[in-house]
Amino acid sequence: MNIYAGNNTIAAIATPLGVGGVGVIRISGNDSEEIIKKIFSSTLKERKLPEFKPNRVYYGWIYENNLHPVDEVILLYFKAPKSFTGENIFEIQCHGGVNIVQKILKLCIDNGARLAEQGEFSKRAFMNGKIDLSRAESILDLIHSKTDTFSKLSALNLSGRLAEKIYFLRTELINLLSLIIAAVDFPEEVDEPEYNYINDKILSLINEIEGILNGATASNLMRNGVKAAIVGKPNAGKSSLFNALLDVQRAIVTDIPGTTRDIIQESVDIEGIPLTLIDTAGLREIKSESDNNYIEALGINLTNEAIKTADIIIYIYDLAKGLTEEDNKILESIKNRKNLLKVGSKLDLAQDFSSGAELIKVSSKEKIGLNELKQAVKSVILSDSTGNDEFCTNLRQQECLKNSKKSLLKAVEACNRNEHQDLISIDLKSALISLGEITGEVVSDEIINNIFSNFCIGK
Ligand SMILES: Nc1nc2c(ncn2[C@@H]2O[C@H](COP(=O)(O)OP(=O)(O)OP(=O)(O)O)[C@@H](O)[C@H]2O)c(=O)[nH]1
Ligand SMILES: [Mg+2]
């Protein structure tokens, strides 16, 4: 059933606003065909409409008053229920200019559509049973993913990996509940299942849930990324290392100490984990109050802020000069920081190719030691994660899994105390509800609205 019956046809620009080859405007709802019929014609000589058949492509013109051309377009028609939203959808592919797409959208709205809210197309797809909640969330992940690994995992969820697993767990739980409830309701006819049997079944479910939760840290890291700040005294080679790790000349490099005044950050993919790399201003004490120093002092303040918020500190000193008093001072101020990596720079000048356990030696100029540094960053990141990424989950889904596990543990305890099975079934039902929240079988409007409000308009 289409729960949006009535005049509630929505339209939005589905492509990013800007100049591009193609712009797409999407219309979804009962009136989409009526609206299209008012603004589309196969020719401009006379008003001519094709007979719209589903899954066909139509060529023609979007026009305004008296067949005045707006743009030459391609129309795609998806008929309910075989469309993304489960409703009648028309997609107008026009030329990708800011004015054109906005004008066509306005025509759709003037002729009866209303502007879609954020995520409303995906929300309708969910409400009309086209996708479950975990698939809808994976669309969001896919759009925002910054690394190849995360895109691949999100695409797997979109294909139903997590949903199928949850469906399997729910089925197991429903089967167990059925045995218990049948015996509770019909004690004369049905024997209650053995406590050992119930216990084993619940433990195996807990085990499965823990398996999914093992990937939680890795999932969160891939979704949110980590921040690493490169810190050291002026001229230590921070910007050079920053550029070398990014493999582009992003930050200015000179032999003048105090070159970098601002915080520069860029994202880099460290084996599937998005790392925000931050180049900072060289740390030193500023004594005089000249204008020049004032700007540098502002930069140093920003650096100190960056140090506070970074997940990883890459501390760097010049191997050719050795550890100076200034270096030691900086090191002293950050020595208690978690995830501190020490890097010796300009290895090509130092001619010191020995390797130390604590120190990673690099030459940004000769591109030596960069992979070693990346590996060190990666192992710091993964140090508190099992690295299990079989299942990719978000915080909301993890919370549901944890709640489900909690209820199952309570059920196990009740089982061990040989409680009345009616009581055990209450905890099992709670566990079932928590699992259902992941895919959206049981979920409140508030949660649904919250999820879809993170989508962009047109998605
Ligand atoms: N030979 C050699 N020179 C390097 C290397 N890395 C940096 N340098 C030189 O060291 C000088 C300072 O490098 P930067 O990367 O600007 O140093 P920084 O730490 O960003 O300096 P500030 O921004 O002033 O704090 C420049 O002249 C670089 O060319 C290296 O690996 N080998
Ligand atoms: Mg610099």
Ligand 2 center–CA 362 separation, angstroms: 16
Give the pLDDT score at 389.
67
CATH superfamily of 10-132: Probable tRNA modification gtpase trme; domain 1 (3.30.1360.120)
Ligand 1 atom at minimal distance to the Cα of residue 236? 19
Pocket lined around ligand 1, Cβ cut-off 6 Å: 232, 234-240, 253-255, 257-260, 281-282, 345-346, 348-349, 363-365
In sequence order, which residues have a C-beta less than 8 Å from that of residue 279 and are 6 or more positions away? 230, 238, 239, 242, 250, 251, 260, 263, 264, 265
Question: What 3-state class would DSSP assign to 360?
Answer: strand
Cα–Cα distance between 185 and 114 in angstroms, integer? Answer: 51
Does the reported pTM lie above 0.85? no
Q: Which of 240, 261, 349 to mutate to test the pocket of ligand 1 (most atoms within 8 A of CB)?
A: 240
- In this predicted structure, what is the pLDDT of residue 354? 58
Q: How far is the CA of 338 from the centre of ligand 1 (A)?
A: 26
Atom of ligand 1 at shortest range from CA of 316: 19
**pLDDT tens digits for range 214-250:** 888 888 888 888 899 999 999 999 999 999 999 999 9
Query: Higher model confidence: residue 399 or residue 450?
Result: 399
Average pLDDT, the chain: 90
DSSP state of 237: S
Q: Sketch the domain layout of the chain as residue ranges.
A: 10-132, 135-215+392-440, 222-382
pLDDT bucket at 290, cuts 50 / 70 / 90? low
The tens digit of pLDDT for each residue in 253-277 reads: 999 888 888 889 999 988 778 899 9
The pLDDT assigned to 2 comes to 46
Cα distance between residue 318 and residue 234, in whole Å: 10
For 143-155, how does the pLDDT look when each residue is reduced to its tens digit (9 = 90+)? 888 888 888 889 9
Name the class of domain 222-382: alpha beta
Q: Whose CA is nearest to atom 12 of ligand 1?
A: 235
Chain centroid to CA 414: how far? 39
- The fold of 135-215+392-440 is Four Helix Bundle (Hemerythrin (Met), subunit A) (1.20.120)
* C-alpha to C-alpha distances, 290 to 280, 282, 286, 298, nearest whole angstrom: 21, 17, 10, 13
**Tell me, what amino acid is at 111?**
N
Per residue in 92-127, pLDDT (tens digit) is 999 998 999 999 999 999 999 999 998 999 999 999
Cis peptide before 234 (omega within 30 of 0): no
Q: What is the pLDDT of residue 298?
A: 81
Q: In angstroms, rounded to a whole number, what is the distance separating the alpha carbons of residues 439 and 252?
A: 49
d(CA 354, CA 366): 16
Helical segments of 310-346, H only: 325-334
Helix axes 195-213, 421-439, angle to 10 degrees: 20
How far does the centroid of ligand 1 lie from the alpha carbon of residue 339, in Å? 24
Q: Where are the beta strands (DSSP E) in 297-440?
A: 312-318, 340-345, 359-361
Q: What is residue 288's predicted lDDT score, i.e. its pLDDT?
A: 63
Interstrand relation of 226-232 and 312-318 (parallel, antiparallel or unpaired) = parallel
> Which residues, 6 or more positions from 87, have their beta carbon under 8 angstroms from its beta carbon?
2, 4, 28, 29, 30, 32, 80, 81, 124, 128
- C-alpha span between 37 and 31 (Å, rounded): 10
